[in-house]
Chain A
Amino acid sequence: MNEVCKVEIVREGNLAVLRTDGYINREGGEEIERCITRLMEQGVSRIVLNLEKTKIVNSIGISILIEVLEKLMEKKGALAFCRLTPTIDKTFRIMGLAQYAGIHDTEAQATAAISAAS
């Protein structure tokens, strides 16, 4: 795992998969926010965040993810997470992220779920 979060983007139509690698803290969260804001400007409204290579998040990173999620929802977009460690999974559920964004085991499941979302 990288200590500074890197984001790889795979885009297909109005859907993009972001694969993070590293710590989602303030810096990592802002990098994700930058990527999603840019994608939204290009018309992407459905985002899958694959956190397979992320082992740590902190609450500042989470607060940024919540802001991003709110922005997406304002634009009738949607966000889904996949490949979370059990600790991050639990953290997201406690911090309320799971209320508005689906949590899935695999990227394929997350992509399918978010494509089907109206």
Chain B
Amino acid sequence: MNGQPGTVPAALTLRVREILRQLGEETGDEPPGFEERVLRAAEGLSNPETHAPQVAARLLADRIKKTRFELNERVLELESLYDLGLSVAGELDVEKLADEILFRSISLTNSRSGALHLLDQGRVTVSRSFGGPLLSPESAPRIELCSDGMINNAASSQPICGEPVTNCEKCLVVPIQREGRRLGILVVADKETREGAVADFVPSDARLLGLFASQAATAVETARLHREAVEKERLERELELAASIQREILPRELPEGPGLSIAARTLPTRQVGGDYFDALRAADGSLVFVVADVSGKGVPAALLVSTLSTSVHLQLDEARDPADLVSRLHRHLFRFSRARKFVTMFLGRFHPGSGDLDYVSAGHNPAIWLTGGGEIRELPATGRPAGMFPDSTWTTRHITLARGDRLCVYSDGITEAQNSREEEFGMPRLKEVLEASRQLDVAGALEDLFQEITRFADGAPQYDDETALILSR
């Protein structure tokens, strides 16, 4: 080496400066300290002034390569944020979305591991971790974070909001939130360096992950809303299917004949109701009719109605009398209804020729008997609802309908129909309407009844199915 140890010969310095000046015209200003690096690299060579241009070119090429890589990294960060807003927001499966968010977060921050816990109303619904568990899912709802998140560069000894962090030295936690609602937390841990060390997380990391979490929140919310919409649609389809099954259960036509006119209608408050009516001829020519109200609503009630209907049809000609038929139905319901659902029902066997009516009212509303002579009588319940207690028994009661008599059997949705002032339609009003429509045929009387209820309710929402059956001799 020329000159004094530790000093660079002036000639070499001048030569390097000349080279850098020429390079600078092509590439812009050389980076700080670059001249020093070129000098140090060149002075170790046998003929430094001759080799200086190659040394400068090699170091500059490395420098450009590194800068280009860093620039690409910034582009990648921006693209990742942009992508999450587009492609990931198009991912409607929350589970897949969670994987995508976690993987991208770890990759974006050069972390070794990460965890994502998604919350719904404070409850953890999806948990993902990569590289070992960092924060337990149960701790996620308890961690209070500001929107900027939290850097913890001493995670091995310092918990986050009192919650221990495991399997890492340093971590960065950001909330996933939207319009002030917490949707989850995102944690990344142990930022790598090329040399194999673990670097500190810095505020720019928190800003980047915070932006990413904000995009993720939109994607999570979209996926959730989609899932809820799909679930709602599935339930609606299920209800529609159950409603169509129930429509099939209800008789399309009711028996007619000498000494018999009958009309019935049910108006479910939901697509699938818990009310049921039927009227069918038994083998002996009598008419068996039933009005029933199953406890509960929706699909479970519809399934019980279906069971009840099948049982009535199967047991109709086997039973001695209405009490025997109700007992058989009760045993069947008690055996098959695990949720201990019960049924109130009025079940009658009517002989149109004689006018004899045998009936059982299992905890049902009093039926209304309008005699041709102008009397209005109530037929109260004769026993407990079916399916409720194992040892229930019923007794058959008997009346005779004279020509011109009329019987109205109904569910409690009729008398308990409400208007906006929460007044009930009630028994007196029901009797009044039936009395007023006595001159009409049964179909007309039934129409009148439902019209009166609609007028009374005046648009107020109803919470129970409305069913009525009117039979006339």
> Residues on A close to B: CB < 8 A?
3, 23, 25-26, 55-60, 63, 66, 86-87, 90-91, 94-96
Instruction: Report B193 CB to chain A, min CB distance, Å.
Output: 7
**Chain B neighbourhood of A23, CB < 8 A:** 106, 130-131
Contact of A60 among B68, B79, B87, B110 (CB under 8 A): B110
A58 pairs with B192, CB closer than 8 A: yes
**Chain A neighbourhood of B83, CB < 8 A:** 87, 90
Asked whether B139 is an interface residue with its Cβ less than 8 Å from the other chain, the reply is no
Most buried by A among B79, B103, B196: B103
Contact of A95 among B76, B108, B193 (CB under 8 A): B76
Instruction: Report B383 CB to chain A, min CB distance, Å.
Output: 66
B75 pairs with A94, CB closer than 8 A: yes
Query: Chain B 84-118, CB within 8 Å of chain A: the 1/0 string?
Result: 00010000000000011001101110111100000
Contact of A90 among B79, B100, B112, B131 (CB under 8 A): B79
A55 pairs with B192, CB closer than 8 A: no
A26 pairs with B131, CB closer than 8 A: no
Q: A23-B130, A25-B110, A86-B87 are in contact. List 13 more A-B contacts (CB 8 A).
A: A55-B99, A56-B106, A57-B107, A58-B111, A59-B73, A59-B76, A60-B194, A87-B100, A94-B72, A94-B75, A95-B73, A96-B69, A96-B72
Please, could you name 5 A-B residue pairs with CB atoms under 8 Å apart, sorted by A?
A26-B193, A26-B196, A56-B103, A58-B108, A96-B68
**Chain B neighbourhood of A66, CB < 8 A:** 69
Complex CA distance for A66 and B68, rounded to whole angstroms:
12
| 4 closest A-B pairs by CB | A58-B110, A56-B103, A95-B72, A58-B107
**Chain B neighbourhood of A55, CB < 8 A:** 99, 103
B103 pairs with A60, CB closer than 8 A: no
**Chain B neighbourhood of A60, CB < 8 A:** 110, 192-194
- Nearest chain B residue, comparing its CB with the CB of A55: B103
Complex CA distance for A55 and B113, rounded to whole angstroms:
13
**Chain B neighbourhood of A87, CB < 8 A:** 83, 100, 103-104
Complex CA distance for A113 and B129, rounded to whole angstroms:
37
Complex CA distance for A87 and B96, rounded to whole angstroms:
14
**Chain B neighbourhood of A63, CB < 8 A:** 69, 194
Contact of B192 among A3, A25, A95, A96 (CB under 8 A): A25
Complex CA distance for A25 and B130, rounded to whole angstroms:
13
Most buried by B among A26, A90, A96: A26
**Chain A neighbourhood of B69, CB < 8 A:** 59, 63, 66, 95-96
B107 pairs with A26, CB closer than 8 A: no
Query: Chain B 42-79, CB within 8 Å of chain A: the 1/0 string?
Result: 00000000000000000000000000110011011001
**Chain A neighbourhood of B192, CB < 8 A:** 25-26, 58, 60
**Chain A neighbourhood of B108, CB < 8 A:** 58
Of residues 198 through 254 on chain B, the ones whose CB sits less than 8 Å from some CB of chain A are: none
**Chain B neighbourhood of A25, CB < 8 A:** 110, 112, 192
**Chain A neighbourhood of B131, CB < 8 A:** 3, 23
**Chain A neighbourhood of B106, CB < 8 A:** 23, 56, 58
- Nearest chain B residue, comparing its CB with the CB of A25: B192
**Chain A neighbourhood of B193, CB < 8 A:** 26, 60
A56 pairs with B107, CB closer than 8 A: yes
Complex CA distance for A60 and B73, rounded to whole angstroms:
10
Complex CA distance for A23 and B192, rounded to whole angstroms:
13
Complex CA distance for A25 and B110, rounded to whole angstroms:
8
Complex CA distance for A26 and B191, rounded to whole angstroms:
11
Also in contact, A91 and B76, with CB within 8 A (given A58-B192, A63-B69, A63-B194): yes
Complex CA distance for A95 and B68, rounded to whole angstroms:
9
**Chain A neighbourhood of B103, CB < 8 A:** 55-56, 87
B87 pairs with A3, CB closer than 8 A: no
B72 pairs with A26, CB closer than 8 A: no
- Nearest chain B residue, comparing its CB with the CB of A3: B131
Instruction: Report B215 CB to chain A, min CB distance, Å.
Output: 14
Of residues 283 through 338 on chain B, the ones whose CB sits less than 8 Å from some CB of chain A are: none
- Nearest chain B residue, comparing its CB with the CB of A91: B76
Query: Chain B 160-194, CB within 8 Å of chain A: the 1/0 string?
Result: 00000000000000000000000000000000111
Complex CA distance for A90 and B86, rounded to whole angstroms:
14
Complex CA distance for A3 and B192, rounded to whole angstroms:
15
- Nearest chain A residue, comparing its CB with the CB of B99: A55
Instruction: Report B300 CB to chain A, min CB distance, Å.
Output: 43
- Nearest chain A residue, comparing its CB with the CB of B114: A56
Complex CA distance for A57 and B100, rounded to whole angstroms:
13
Complex CA distance for A26 and B196, rounded to whole angstroms:
7
Instruction: Report B221 CB to chain A, min CB distance, Å.
Output: 21
- Nearest chain A residue, comparing its CB with the CB of B66: A63
Instruction: Report A50 CB to chain B, min CB distance, Å.
Output: 19
Contact of B76 among A3, A56, A86, A94 (CB under 8 A): A94
Instruction: Report A31 CB to chain B, min CB distance, Å.
Output: 13
- Nearest chain A residue, comparing its CB with the CB of B87: A86
**Chain A neighbourhood of B75, CB < 8 A:** 94
Complex CA distance for A56 and B73, rounded to whole angstroms:
15
**Chain A neighbourhood of B100, CB < 8 A:** 87
Instruction: Report B78 CB to chain A, min CB distance, Å.
Output: 9
Instruction: Report B130 CB to chain A, min CB distance, Å.
Output: 6
**Chain A neighbourhood of B107, CB < 8 A:** 56-58, 91
**Chain A neighbourhood of B130, CB < 8 A:** 3, 23, 56
